[in-house]
Amino acid sequence: MRSAFRRMDLFTKVCSTWLAIIAILAVVGPFLPLPDPREADFAAPGVKPFSPGHLLGTDSNGYDLLSNVVNGTRVSLMISLVSVLVGGLIGSSIGIISAYVRGRFDGIVSTLFNIILSIPNLVLGLSLVAVLATSPDPSIPVSSNRRIFVIMLSLTFVIIPILGRIARGATLAWVNREFVVAARSMGMRDKDIIFKHIVPNVLPAIYSVGFLAIGVVIVAEGSLSLLGVGVVDGVSWGAMIARVAGEFTYLPHSMYVPVTVLALSVIACNQVGDHLRSRLDLREGKI
Partner 1 sequence: MKRLGALGSVLRQLGQAVVVVIGSTLFLSLLLRLLPVGLAEIYAGGFDEASRAARLKELRLDKDPVTFYLLWLRDFVAGDFGPIVSPGGGTTPVADKVGSALPISLQLMFYVQVVALVVSVPLGIYTAYRSGKRSDKAISYGLFTASSIPNFVFGLLLAVFFGVTLAWLPPLGYVSPGENLVEHFRTMILPVASLAIPLIATYTRLLRADVIATLREDYVTMAVSKGLSNKRILFSHVLRPSSVTLFTSFALNMGALMGGTLVIEQLFTIPGLGSEIGIAIFSRQFFALQSYVAILAVGFVLFNTLADIAVGFVDPRTRERRRA
Residue ranges that bind partner 1, judged by CB under 8 A: 11, 111-112, 114-116, 118-123, 126-128, 130-132, 134-136, 138, 215, 219, 222-223, 226-229, 241, 245, 248-249, 252, 255, 259, 262-263, 266-267, 269-271, 274
84 or 183: whose CB is closer to partner 1?
Answer: 84
Q: How many Cα atoms within 13 Å fall on the side-chain side of residue 215?
A: 21
22 or 193: whose CB is closer to partner 1?
Answer: 22
Question: At its nearest, how many Å lie between partner 1 and the CB of residue 207?
Answer: 18
Question: At its nearest, how many Å lie between partner 1 and the CB of residue 267?
Answer: 4
Question: At its nearest, how many Å lie between partner 1 and the CB of residue 135?
Answer: 7
| Closest by Cα among 65, 36, 81 to 237 | 65
176 or 185: whose CB is closer to partner 1?
Answer: 176
234-238: long-range contacts, CB 8 A cutoff, minimum separation 24: 234/75, 234/144, 234/145, 234/147, 234/148, 235/37, 235/38, 235/68, 235/71, 235/72, 235/74, 235/75, 236/72, 236/75, 236/76, 236/79, 236/148, 237/69, 237/72, 237/73, 237/76, 237/261, 237/262, 238/76
**Amino acid in the structure at residue 276:** L
Question: At its nearest, how many Å lie between partner 1 and the CB of residue 55?
Answer: 21
Question: At its nearest, how many Å lie between partner 1 and the CB of residue 244?
Answer: 9
197 or 277: whose CB is closer to partner 1?
Answer: 277
Main-chain phi, psi angles of 136, to 5 degrees: -60, -35
27 or 280: whose CB is closer to partner 1?
Answer: 280
Question: At its nearest, how many Å lie between partner 1 and the CB of residue 272?
Answer: 11
Contacts of 282 (CB under 8 A, 6+ apart): 170, 205, 208
